[in-house]
């Protein structure tokens, strides 16, 4: 099972996890990223570069499957207007081995954050808006995968 989607629609994390569980591997890991309502954030807009996003996520999934014995990978990334509490991103992995499932999940989210062309703009209650700045610690998290 390989599934990736980029789009405006919300997704059913429970259904994705259930399908990863059904692959018979014994180990399913998942990560979900949710919009935080910190500092008076009222909404977030996610832009992306569609052709490149697809290419990058597809490559990323291939790399994860080469590196770990995975039975299934699901990567979902939302774009467009989101509110606090909305899911932004989901990564799910299934393997026969728990370490493989967990590590691949961490690898995919670290790389997604630094190599998939998404950009977040935050809008606050006072009317201000700002583009989120990339963080050096995200690059560091990615780089630990070698």
Partner 1 sequence: METLNILYFAWVREAIGKDGEQIEHPGAEMRIIDLIAMLKEKGAGYAEAFANPEKLRAAIDHAFVPLDCVLGHASELALFPPVTGG
Does residue 46 belong to the site contacting a second copy (CB under 8 A)? no
Start-end of H helices in the chain:
13-21, 50-67, 98-115, 136-143
Residues whose CB falls within 8 Å of the CB of residue 79, separated by 6 or more in sequence, listed in order: 6, 7, 8, 46, 47, 48, 118
49 near partner 1, judged by CB under 8 A: yes
Pick between residue 46 and residue 94 the one whose CB is nearest to partner 1.
46
- b/e map 68-99, b = 16+ CB within 10 Å: bebbbbbbbbbbeebeeeebbbbbbbbbeeee
- When CB distances are held under 5 to 8 angstroms depending on the partner's kind, the choice from a second copy, partner 1, none that residue 48 binds is partner 1
| Residue 26 or 50 with smaller CB distance to a second copy | 26
Answer yes or no whether residue 35 interacts with a second copy by CB under 8 A: yes
Q: Are strands 41-48 and 87-95 parallel, antiparallel or unpaired?
A: unpaired
Q: Residue 62 CB, nearest distance to a second copy (Å)?
A: 21
102 to 121: interface string for partner 1, x by CB under 8 A: -------x--xxxxxxxxxx
List the single partner that 37 binds among a second copy, partner 1, none, CB under 5 to 8 Å by kind.
Answer: a second copy
């Amino acid at each position: 099972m390989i599934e990736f989607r980029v789009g405006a629609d919300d997704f059913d994390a429970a259904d994705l996890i259930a399908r990863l569980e059904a692959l018979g591997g014994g180990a399913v890991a998942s990560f979900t990223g949710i919009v935080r309502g910190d500092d008076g954030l009222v909404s977030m807009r996610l832009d992306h570069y569609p052709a490149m996003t697809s290419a990058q996520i597809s490559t990323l999934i291939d790399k994860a499957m080469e590196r770990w014995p995975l039975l299934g990978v699901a990567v979902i990334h939302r774009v467009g207007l989101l509110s606090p509490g909305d899911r932004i991103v989901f990564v799910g992995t299934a393997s026969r081995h728990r370490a493989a499932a967990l590590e691949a999940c961490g690898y995919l989210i670290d790389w997604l954050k630094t190599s998939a062309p998404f950009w977040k703009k935050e809008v606050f209650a006072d009317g201000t808006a700002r583009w989120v700045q990339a963080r050096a610690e995200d690059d560091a998290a990615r780089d630990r995968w070698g």
